[in-house]
Each structure stands twice: as C-alpha cells, then as structure tokens.
Structure 1
C-alpha cells in the first residue's frame, strides 16, 4: 500500500491508540468495514499485556463462579471461532481439575460447574468434561499428590502457544485491509478542541519526527495504560484497576504432568495452573493488586516462591527451587477499576466501551478485554465507532474471516503436504507451521532463493535466517526484540535467545541494511528488554566485565 502522508485537512475515520491484541483487532475489523484507520503504539505490536497472558483460549470456566454467564457464553463462542479461523495457532488443551479435602470449592460444585459449562458449550464444546475417580487419577496421573485427594474433573479447553503470533497476524490482516500501523511511535497527546477530540499527536521514537493524526474518532485501547493517555487532558474517573499476573517458566521437572493441571492454591484459594508449553512448563498465575509503575512490571521473589511452593505441594517429587526458573513473565490485566474490592477474582473480566460524550465527543476508551474475546470486543468497538460517525451499520466479517496463516480451504491437508515436501527436518517443519501457518511457504521461498538464508540461527529451535528477514520485511518488526520475542519466538526459548541474538543481528547486517553499530546497539537493547523477565541466562553470564546480575 502506498504510504499516505496525512496533510492538515486529511482526516482518517479512526485513530487507535495501542497495538495490543485489542487495538489491532479493532483496526482489522474497522478496516474490513471500509474505515480509514491508523494505529499508533510506542512499542511493538503485542509487546504489552498481550505477551504476558497464560496463553489460553478459554471458555471461561472460572467465570461461572461469578455467575458471569454472558462472558462464559461469549468466551465459548470466540474459542469456537478461533478453532476455525486460526487452526494453526490454537489447539485443543485438556485440563485436569483435582479436588482436595479442604478446598474452598467442593468437588461437587466444580462437577456442577463442568456440567453447566458443557450445557452452555453444547455443539461448540471440545468434548464433554468428565469426572475422574481417585483410583483413575492415581493410575493416569501417578505423580500428583494423593494427600486428601477426593477426585477430579477433566475439562477440554484450548491453548494458543504463541499468543504473540495472534497479534502479528491481526497486524498483517489489518494492513492487508488498508490500515496503517505505526509502531515505536509514542502518543504525546490528544488533540483537544473544546469538547471534541480530533485525533492525536505522536513522535517517532527513533527519528524524533513529530506527526499529527487527525481523526473523526479516536479509540483509547492502551490496556492498563488507558488512564495515562487521558491524564491531564480528558477529565475522567479512574478507569483501569489492573491486577498483576506473574508466571514462571521451568524445564520439565520430576513428576511433571503431560496434561495441564488446574488446582486451588493452598495459600490463597486462587485457582492456578501448571501448564505444559513447548516442551517446558509454565506455572501461573498470581492475581495481586498493582499500584506500581506499569512500565516496570516484574515478577517478585514472593510471587515466584508462591508458584514454586504450590507446584511442589501438588507434585511432591518436583523439588523446584528459584534456581530452576528459566525466566518469569509478569503483566497487568487491563481490568476495570473497582473501588474497595476484597477479592481480585471478583473483578469482572468482561469489556466495556466507554463513550466520553457529552464532555468530549469523538473519544472512546476500551476498558477490560482478554485474549480469548478480542474479536468480540473489536466488533463492539467498531459498531460504536460507526454509530459515532453516523454511518449506517455494516456487517462485521471477522467471524468467518481466516487469519492470514490459515488462508487455505483445508488446513490439515496443507500441513501434511508441507511436512511431506519441506526440505527441512520434521521438527523444523512443524515449528514453521505452528508459527506461520500457510505463510511458512514464504520462509522456504526466501531460503531457496538465497542459500545463506537457509542457515540455522538458533540451535534449540532450528529457526532459519530467512525468518529474521521475513520478520522485518513482511511482518513489521523493527528491533531485535521485535524479531526474537514477537516474530520468530526464539526469545522464548531456554536462554531467551541470548545466544542467538548476535547471529540474528548479523543476518540483519547482511540482508536488512543494519550497520555494525546498529547491530551492537540492538543486542544491548535486547538484553535491556529482557531484564524484566529476570532470565537465568542473563543473571549467570557476564559480559565486558560488568556485573549483570538482576536484583
């Protein structure tokens, strides 16, 4: 698409602040309905909350506890749609829910919940839940603690191992539909004209170039940062009351289960998970009130200890210690601010679209939202945008529209054919399919056209140099962090891509026009970006004599 340089009198229909999963989904839906859209984010797509989730596409079993049937229904429907529109990214994911004596939720209640859930899911379920006897648990999950075990329920849900890729594909599709997405561009303010918001001002983080984007409607989709966007310009009550959720990533441990285990923590009765993920395990997550700096969200020692202790309790052979933690991931859920709440689990996980009129027309703020329901949220926001613009309603197409990586009439047949005909190892081919879907063909084309791009840049994953080039050329990556953490995903391996980083930067020097100084700066910038994950690999390595241990 030719880049359209906006002149003074050039007004787009919609400016979206925030390129997380919700902002991107809004851009995609609005562009599909014929609106001219610009999205601005100070970082990369999905670099905020979207990349810190539990990577579940879930029907929302937990929400039955709050009788939030609307949200459960919406979650089940959205999960069902994602299996059809993004089959390369979303997979079936059974979960075992063990009931122990002394749990705050009696097993009978959870069984009842599963029955209600199945009834609500009906034809959209992934297989019926079922009760599992103590004897059967002991046989099938022998390493699970039997102390006080009263039975279990087996429940079918879904996982999106690479949530980052949902964001990348929403970006690709939004751009294909004509939206412009400006990443690494900071919104410096809204354009306030009396009681009207007429767009935003922004500054390119790298060049310092300032731009004004005039828009008929502006959507504040900055997740937990929504209040900061309004601060000092738009009078509003506090809107975000996000809670912090932390996860730890460990290698397989003694007695590690092959199924996700969803259990009640002894310390605070919160439901937490032990998830199998990409050959490793994610333990999570915490749910604590957070009033700190949103740009410095790091899993605390106390949270890490809590997750390890609860896992060790339910898997007595595990013996996990802080030294086993490869890295941790912490984020702030974009929940609505709720004063005086005693239990964070009671804060609604639904979403609302706030129209700031009559005080300010032309401004909408998105409160809440979660990975699973991003499409439904975008449909609601776009409906409201059309209303504000005074346009006649136009049909939303995202329920049927496949993600770019699933753009084939028969995904299973494509995948089998790709593995059969690919020159790579089976492991490498399967990895490419689960990251890029049908777009994996493009990786092979690049590697075939230039043999130097067929080189492996990361031993652990088998990722190719061609992927680094594709990340920048086709997928909007700018920095080394964008490439490693949110495109080729080597950054989520055991050492967080620290060993692959110089190799990947070198590929960018040879093929993408970086110079040596830029490559060095990118590697240093990447290490700085990793600090908030507290990676074990960074704590143990020291470079140029400086002590890099993370306090």
Structure 2
C-alpha cells in the first residue's frame, strides 16, 4: 500500500520510483481505460506504472455523456453480449462508487416515424431487463400517450405516442477516472500526470522494454523500464503506435461528439429523457441546477488537442430539442457551457466508414507493444480484465478473473444510499460552524465521497482567514485537490476535479483570481507561470462558452 498522498507535491518521489525499478506493467494513457488497467494490475499484486501526457481524464474520459449505460441502443443491432456485459458492469460500478454513480429514471418517448412503437419498445425493454440483470425495483414501465404527457408535459403532443420508463445511471466521468487512478496509487501503483512518452526503449531483439518520458511540470526527462507496455491512449493510440512501428492493418477513426448545457429553468424537464430524432439518439440529463444535452457524431480530422464546438452543431441539438419540446423557446444564447470530445472507432484497411467497430479490441505489434482501443466508459473494468488476461497468456499463465468488482474506489466506501445520507447528516452536525446547508454538504459528498471530511477539515482551517464563504470553500477545495488529487493546473481544478467549468461557469469567473493566487502560493508559481495559467484558463473558458 502507498502511504504517501496522491499529491502534485510528491512528483519528484514518484519519478524517482519510476526510474529506479523495472515494472511488471507500464500503461501509457491516464483515461478511464488506462487507470482501470492500472487498478486491475495493482490488485493482482503487480508492480505498475502509468503516465499521462496531460491530466487524468483530460481526453475522451471527461467528454462523454456522463452515463453508465446499460446498452439499450445496442439491442437494435442485436448486440446481445454487449447489452449483457454493460448491464452487469453498470451494477458493479454503482456498488463501488455510489457517490459518483446515480440511478435516474430515464424517459424514452415513442415518436412518430422513428424506430420504436409500443410493442417493439415493450419487447426491447423486457429483453434489456433480462439480459442486463436489472433489479426488480428498476425494471421498465410502459405508458400510453395520456400518461406519458402527464409524466412530461413538455413533450410534443403531435408526435409523442407513448413512452417507456427505465433506469440509467448518471456519473461524473472525470472523477470516476480520477478515483480509479487514486485507488491504484493507494494500492501501490506509480501514476503520474503531465508526463509524455517521447520514445520507446528496445532491447537487442527489437522488443519494447521501456520508454523515455518528459515531465512537463519541471522539464525533466526520465526513463521507465517494464516487462509489458500497454498503449491505452484512447483517440491518441496511433500517435503512440507510430513511435514504435509504421501503422498497418487496424487504425483509429475519430468520431466527434458535443454536449451543451442549459440552466434548468430554461430546460425544465421533469426527468432525464432519451429520445430519437431522425434515427439519432439524444440524451437530456438534469444535473443540479443545469440540464445538459448530447450528443452529435461526426468524423473528426482536425486538432485532437484543441476541439471546438461549432455553432452549427449547437443549432442541430437545439433543433432536436425543439422537435421534442416545441413549447420551449431555446436559442444558442441560452447555452451556458459546452464540451466536445472524440472517441476512437476502429477502422481497417479495405473497410468502409459504415463498418467502423465501436467495440474494444487488443492488438500487438511485432515489437511487443500491446494496444487497446475502442470501447465505452461503462465497460472500462472488463477492458482492463481482458488486457491483464492477454498479458497472462503471453506469459503462458492461466488467465485469471479480475477482482476489481469487489474493490470500492477510494471515495466510495459505502454499502448503501443510507450510509451516504448518514455521512451527510453527521458532517452537517459536526461542522456546524462552517454554516454549510445540508444540500451544500451533500454536494461535496457526491463529489468527494467518503473523503469529504478531509475537505471540511481544511475548510475549518481557512475559516480563520476568509470572511467570504464562497472564497473559503473554493480555496479549501483547491488545497484538498492539490494535496490529494494531483491537481497541477487551473484547468485540472475547474474542469476535471469540480466540473465548475461545465456546470457553474459563473463561479469560475468570480473565483478565478483568488484560486490562481492560492494555487500559486501552494505550488510556488512565479509570475510568468501565473500569467501562463490564467491565459490557458481564459482560453479554455472561452472555448466552452463561445462557438465557432
């Protein structure tokens, strides 16, 4: 077990550990796939290292629809194994991270001229319940038109003919990734963000045995050696592969998706809605005081490190919303924030775009570099298991199952929703001097989970120095996330640790100066670094709230 904290201030010792040993497994990529592999490997007792070029979850793993899907839409393609696996995986992720995974009633309206009618939706949801092993109290209900419009009065009365109500699970994809990384670290793994793989190290037989990496925080170059190297770079896997061998056979095709965020008062749906518009699935998900909508899908061939939301894409989603909720006068100016990301689809020489695979696949180069690509957020744990079993077979060992189905993530030390509520009530009483409402405590618990008391202790320390409650609270979060969650930049904090960029952009604007000052104090930034960080954060903020 690792006794040190998962802190940016421990970077030097992590790098020293990475340099001074040969690892069983080295993972390149700190998204949900890579961190899931690191956790699986550490729980098997292996010595594990992971590096991420930017921040954990800074790629696709913070830009999903933020749903732990049960795989309903795969029924249309008769992809029953995927429905079965994602259904069971959804339950496991819920049990191990209850603070981050929330059941929500999903309304699926039956719309004229779309794929489903009452009969086919009933058949589909029944099969879904059975394949996915849905709990009795979460099984679907089918409603006729009248009851459907009572459940959601905003629906289009001319086109909606009925509905199915079933359960999906909403998550915070960034924090789920971070919690996997942190749990792997606590299990003894060595994980580092802002460390870019620049080259491979090969032995006399041209087999990969290590990498050269650059720490972009202090500019230091260092080496890591390992028996097995796994490329889990998501959409960037080909960028890693090309440093090993020319790419032949299978390759990545990138699909771009965008999401837009409204104030809940502007899009006041009664419950989450998943609907079809001209054959495309669109999700409308309430979260706190906001409602977000997505996603689009289009082939993407531009800069993967700087993905923008286009106004045409926003208008497309608004048009979809107007078709289902015609009474809402939504316009581009009502969008308070947005995000865009790309997911890797697997193409193959000689295959058409229509034949792109959305499943995860493993392939290995003749130098021994193992690559995993494709897949979805929900299936990350099984992807990790498949990688570890692949490595076991390489070593001529019997393939063994993962034990991460029984490993609660670091903030998820709960066995029931009652235990979460009990913690909220206890903390509300114990830290009464902080003048936090029970709802505010609840918001922190559903972010930091069973680690929330550590944050409140820091908040108590800041109480002596800050009269303004919002300033006190956010500066305590800054300190907590630097010392416990490897925050090294403003965007780490505002985007991936707290999601204020996406769901409270006004808070970001109000607090940016004091947060920058506190981060500079803790991390020892000079004026040039302060200026650079603020410039980057303004650019990221502008990209989220303005559209091309």
Summarize the Cα distance change of 1:7–1:307 in structure 2 as closer, same or farther, 3 Å threshold.
Answer: closer
Q: Residue 468 in 1 paired to residue 468 in 2?
A: no
Cα RMSD of the aligned pairs, angstroms, is 2.4
Report deviation, 1:449: 3.6
8 Å Cα contact 1:453/1:464 also seen in 2: no
For 1:68-83, list aligned pairs within 5 A: 68-83=79-94
1:234 aligns with 2:245: yes
**How far did 1:516 drift?**
4.5
Moved more, 96-105 or 231-240: 231-240
Task: Tell me: CA distance 1:453–1:329, structure 2 relative to 1, closer, same or farther (3 Å).
Answer: farther
| Aligned counterpart, 2:367 | 360
Number of residue pairs matched by the alignment: 527
Structure 2 partner of 1:487 = 497
TM-score normalized by structure 2?
A: 0.90
Distance in 2 between residues matched to 1:517 and 1:222, nearest whole Å: 31
Deviations 1:215-269 (A, max 9, x none): 1111000001111111153133242123111111111255631211111113xx1
Work out which of the residue numbers 425, 432, 436 in structure 1 matches 2:444: 432
After superposition, the C-alpha distances for 1:126-172 in whole angstroms (9 at most, x for unaligned) are 61111111011122211111113221111111111x22111111111
Shift in CA distance, 56/8, structure 1 to aligned 2, threshold 3 Å: closer
Matched-pair contact (CA < 8 Å) for 2:309–2:339: yes
Deviations 1:292-320 (A, max 9, x none): 22223222222111000110121112111
Aligned mate of 1:416, from 425, 433, 457: 425
Go from structure 1 to structure 2 and tell me whether the alpha carbon gap of 1:421 and 1:99 turns closer, same or farther (over 3 Å shift): same
CA distance in 1, matches of 2:461, 2:526: 23
**Aligned equivalent of 1:500:** 511
Determine the C-alpha separation between the residues in 2 that align with 1:63 and 1:431: 33
Aligned counterpart in structure 1 of residue 332 of structure 2, from 322, 325, 329:
322
Residues 280 and 520 of structure 1, relative CA distance in 2, 3 Å threshold: same
Give the conservation status (yes or no) of the 8 Å contact 1:143–1:255. no
Residues 10, 419 of structure 1: alpha-carbon distance in 2 compared, 3 angstrom cutoff: same
Q: Which of these residues, 306, 313, 329, is aligned with residue 303 of structure 1?
A: 313
Separation of aligned partners in 2, 1:455 and 1:18: 41
Aligned with residue 122 of structure 1, among 133, 136, 148: 133
**What are the equivalent positions in structure 2 for 1:39-438 lying under 5 Å apart?**
39-122=50-133, 124=135, 127-160=138-171, 162-193=172-203, 194-235=205-246, 236-254=248-266, 256-266=268-278, 269-337=279-347, 340-341=351-352, 343=354, 347-356=356-365, 359-361=366-368, 363-390=369-396, 396-408=402-414, 411-412=419-420, 413-423=422-432, 424-438=436-450
Distance in 2 between the 1:508 and 1:457 partners? 18
Distance 1:93 1:8 in 2: 46
| Partner residue in 1 for 2:530 | 519
Conserved 8 A contact 1:92-1:126:
no
Match of 2:35 in 1: 24
CA contact (8 A) 1:14 1:217 kept: yes
Distance between the aligned counterparts of 1:348 and 1:3, measured in 2? Answer: 37
Equivalent position SS for 2:307: coil
1:5 to 10, 16, 26: 16
Given that 2:267 and 2:291 are in contact with CA atoms closer than 8 Å, whether structure 1 keeps it comes out as no
Structure 2 residue runs without a partner (length 5+): 5-12
> Any conservation in 2 of the 1:224–1:240 contact (CA below 8 Å)?
yes
Describe the superposition over 1:487-535 as per-residue Cα deviations: whole angstroms up to 9, x where unpaired: 13322234262322212112224444334443333222212233442x1
Give the CA deviation at 1:37. 1.2
Residue 190 of structure 1: how far off its partner (Å):
2.0
Provide the secondary structure at the position in 1 that maps to 2:104. Answer: strand
- Conservation of the 8 A alpha-carbon contact between 1:264 and 1:272: yes
Shift >6 Å, 4+ stretches: none
Distance 1:55 1:243, change over 3 A: same
**Contact conserved, 2:260 with 2:294, CA < 8 A, in 1?**
yes
Bigger Cα displacement from structure 2, 128-137 vs 193-202: 193-202
Secondary structure of the residue that 2:411 maps to in structure 1? helix
Question: CA 1:454–1:72 in structure 2 vs 1: closer, same or farther (change >3 Å)?
Answer: farther
Residue in 2 aligned with 1:544? none
Higher helix share: 2
The alpha-carbon distance between structure 1 residues 443 and 348, as it changes in their structure 2 partners (threshold 3 A), is same
Counterpart contact for 2:200–2:243, Cα < 8 Å: no
Contact 2:261–2:503, Cα closer than 8 Å, also in 1: no
> Is contact 2:84–2:133 with CA below 8 Å preserved after alignment?
no
**Corresponding position of 1:546:** none
Q: Which moved more, 1:313-322 or 1:485-494?
A: 485-494
